[in-house]
C-alpha cells in the first residue's frame, strides 16, 4: 500500500480511534488554527490535539447566524456553525478548546463557544507585533496554557515528554519542508491540492503514525516525476485554507496553471522553522512559534509577510499570485492594496484577489476571473 493509501485508511478510522481514546479517559483538546497553539504541549500533557479546521461548507456559515451577527470572517463563523449543527463529529468530541486570540474574528469563536456550549474554552493572547514585550506576553500566555493543560488533564508537562513531542513535531515539520521544496522543480511530484490535503490531515491525524506515513511519502515522491507544468506557476495566499475548501485548485488547474506554493495564516501547517529541543523548552517554543514565524496580516506592522511571500515566489519560480480572501477577514482585505502594489513594484508580479463566503454561487464568477487571470499571465 502506498503512503497516500495508508493515510486515507488512517484518517478513515481516526474518528473511531478518537472516540475510543476519549472513552478511555484521554482528553481531546481542540484548538483554533493559526500556528500559535503548540500541539507539542498538548501531546506532552497526555491529551490529543485536534485542530478545528473544517471549512468550505455553506450550512455551518448559515447556522452561525443564529448565534452571532454575520460580520465575522467566514471561516470563524463556520467554527461556530459546525459545533452547533452537531453533524461534524470531531467538533462534538472536544473536551477543552484552546483559542489563541489573534484578532476579533478568532475572539468571536472563543466567546461564542463559551456562551453556547459547555466546553471549557481557554484563551491565550497573541500580540500583534514582534517587539520584546510582545514576545514576553506570548511566552506568559504559554506558561498559563501549560498550567491549564496540567490542571485539565491531571498530567504534568515534564521536560522529557515535551522534548519528545518537540522532536516528533520537528520531524514532521522537516518532512513537510522537504516535500514542499520538491515543488520547486518543473515537474512537481505532488500537486498543490494534495499538499494542502496533507497539511490538513496532519492537524487531525495521530502524530507518530502521520510522521511515519510522511517518511514513506517523501521517499515515494523523491522517485516520482510529476507532469510538466505547462501554464503559469501560481502562489496561493490568504488568511485561511480550510480542510474541505479546495475549490480554487481545480479552477486553477482547469485554466492550465498549477499552485506550486502557498502561504496561509490558518490551515497550512507552519513548517519552515523547527523548535530547539534544548534549554528552556517553553521559551524555545515561543521563539519558533512567535518570533520566527512570518507575521500574519493582522500584525502591525506586517510588511515582513510581503517580503516572505516575495521570497517564496522567487524560490518557487512563481509567475502570479492568487489571493484567496474570506469575507469579513478585514486584516487581509485591508492588506491587499499595498500588497498588490509592492509585489508589482518589487518583483513585477501580478495578483488576482478572489473572495469567498463558502457559497456555491461564487464558483462561476470565480472560474471566469481565474481563467482570465491565467490567460493574462500566459501572454506576458
Q: Summarize as ranges the residues that interact with other proteins (CB under 8 A).
A: 66-69, 71-72, 101, 103-105, 107-108, 110-112, 114-116, 121-129, 131, 133-134, 137, 140-141, 297-298, 300-303, 327-328, 330-331, 333-338, 341-342
Smallest separation (angstroms) from other proteins to the CB of 247 = 20
- Cβ neighbours of residue 211 under 8 Å, at least 6 residues apart? 168, 171, 172, 175
- DSSP-assigned beta bridge partners for residue 263: 237
- DSSP-assigned beta bridge partners for residue 233: 258
Smallest separation (angstroms) from other proteins to the CB of 136 = 8
Selection from 257, 261, 239, 264 nearest residue 311 by Cα: 261
By beta-carbon proximity to other proteins, the closer residue of 198 and 366 is: 366
By beta-carbon proximity to other proteins, the closer residue of 115 and 208 is: 115
Smallest separation (angstroms) from other proteins to the CB of 327 = 7
Smallest separation (angstroms) from other proteins to the CB of 345 = 12
d(CA 1, CA 335): 45
Smallest separation (angstroms) from other proteins to the CB of 56 = 20
**DSSP 8-state code for residue 379:** T
Smallest separation (angstroms) from other proteins to the CB of 133 = 5
By beta-carbon proximity to other proteins, the closer residue of 41 and 179 is: 41
Smallest separation (angstroms) from other proteins to the CB of 66 = 8
By beta-carbon proximity to other proteins, the closer residue of 71 and 254 is: 71
CA 126 to chain centre: 16
- DSSP-assigned beta bridge partners for residue 31: 51, 98
d(CA 11, CA 210): 10
Cβ neighbourhood burial of 131 (10 Å; 0-12, 13-18, 19+)? exposed
By beta-carbon proximity to other proteins, the closer residue of 10 and 130 is: 130
Smallest separation (angstroms) from other proteins to the CB of 334 = 4
Smallest separation (angstroms) from other proteins to the CB of 328 = 5
Beta carbons within 10 angstroms of residue 300's beta carbon: 10
By beta-carbon proximity to other proteins, the closer residue of 126 and 213 is: 126
By beta-carbon proximity to other proteins, the closer residue of 2 and 304 is: 304
Residue 123 cell numbers, joined: 484563551
By beta-carbon proximity to other proteins, the closer residue of 179 and 306 is: 306
By beta-carbon proximity to other proteins, the closer residue of 269 and 305 is: 305
Asked whether the beta carbons of 273 and 288 are under 8 A apart, the reply is yes
DSSP string computed for 301-365: S-HHHHHHHHHHHHHTT--EEEEEEETT-HHHHHHHHHHHHHHHHHH--EEEEEEESS-GGGHHH
Residue with cell 517580503: 307
CA dihedral over 319, 325, 330, 334, signed as positive or negative: positive
Instruction: Please state whether 281 falls in left (phi above 0), alpha (psi between -120 and 50) or beta.
Output: alpha
d(CA 62, CA 60): 5
Say whether 288 sits in a helix, a strand or coil.
Answer: helix
Amino acid at each position: 500500500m502506498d503512503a497516500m493509501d495508508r493515510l486515507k485508511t488512517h484518517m478513515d478510522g481516526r474518528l473511531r480511534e478518537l472516540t475510543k481514546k476519549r472513552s478511555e479517559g484521554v482528553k481531546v483538546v481542540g484548538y483554533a488554527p493559526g500556528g500559535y497553539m503548540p500541539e507539542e504541549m498538548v501531546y506532552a500533557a497526555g491529551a490529543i490535539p485536534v485542530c478545528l479546521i473544517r471549512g468550505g461548507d455553506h450550512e455551518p456559515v448559515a447556522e452561525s447566524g443564529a448565534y452571532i451577527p454575520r460580520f465575522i470572517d467566514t471561516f470563524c463563523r463556520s467554527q461556530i456553525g459546525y459545533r452547533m449543527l452537531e453533524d461534524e463529529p470531531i467538533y462534538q468530541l472536544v473536551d477543552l478548546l484552546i483559542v489563541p486570540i489573534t484578532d476579533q474574528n478568532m475572539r468571536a469563536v472563543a466567546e461564542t463557544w463559551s456562551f453556547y456550549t459547555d466546553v471549557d474554552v481557554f484563551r491565550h493572547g497573541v500580540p500583534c507585533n514582534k517587539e520584546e514585550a510582545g514576545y514576553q506576553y506570548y511566552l506568559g500566555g504559554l506558561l498559563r496554557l501549560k498550567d491549564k493543560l496540567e490542571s485539565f488533564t491531571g498530567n504534568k508537562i515534564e521536560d522529557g515528554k515535551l522534548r519528545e513531542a518537540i522532536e516528533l513535531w520537528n520531524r514532521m515539520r522537516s518532512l513537510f519542508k522537504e516535500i514542499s521544496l520538491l515543488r520547486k522543480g518543473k515537474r512537481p511530484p505532488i500537486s498543490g491540492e494534495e499538499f494542502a490535503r496533507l497539511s490538513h490531515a496532519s492537524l487531525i491525524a495521530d502524530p507518530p503514525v502521520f510522521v511515519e506515513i510522511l517518511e514513506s511519502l517523501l521517499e515515494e515522491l523523491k522517485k516520482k516525476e510529476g507532469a510538466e507544468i505547462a501554464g503559469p506557476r501560481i502562489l496561493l495566499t490568504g488568511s485561511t485554507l480550510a480542510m474541505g475548501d479546495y475549490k480554487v485548485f481545480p479552477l486553477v488547474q482547469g485554466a492550465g496553471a498549477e499552485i506550486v506554493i502557498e502561504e496561509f495564516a490558518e490551515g497550512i501547517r507552519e513548517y519552515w522553522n523547527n523548535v530547539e529541543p534544548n534549554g528552556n523548552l517553553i521559551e524555545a517554543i515561543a521563539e519558533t512559534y512567535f518570533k520566527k514565524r512570518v507575521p500574519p496580516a493582522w500584525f502591525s506592522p506586517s510588511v515582513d509577510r510581503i517580503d516572505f511571500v516575495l521570497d517564496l515566489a522567487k524560490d518557487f519560480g512563481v509567475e502570479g499570485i492568487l489571493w484567496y480572501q474570506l469575507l469579513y477577514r478585514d486584516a487581509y482585505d485591508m492588506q491587499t492594496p499595498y500588497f498588490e502594489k509592492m509585489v508589482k513594484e518589487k518583483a513585477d508580479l501580478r495578483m488576482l484577489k478572489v473572495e469567498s463566503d463558502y457559497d456555491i454561487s461564487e464558483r462561476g464568477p470565480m472560474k471566469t476571473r481565474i481563467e482570465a487571470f491565467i490567460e493574462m499571465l500566459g501572454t506576458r
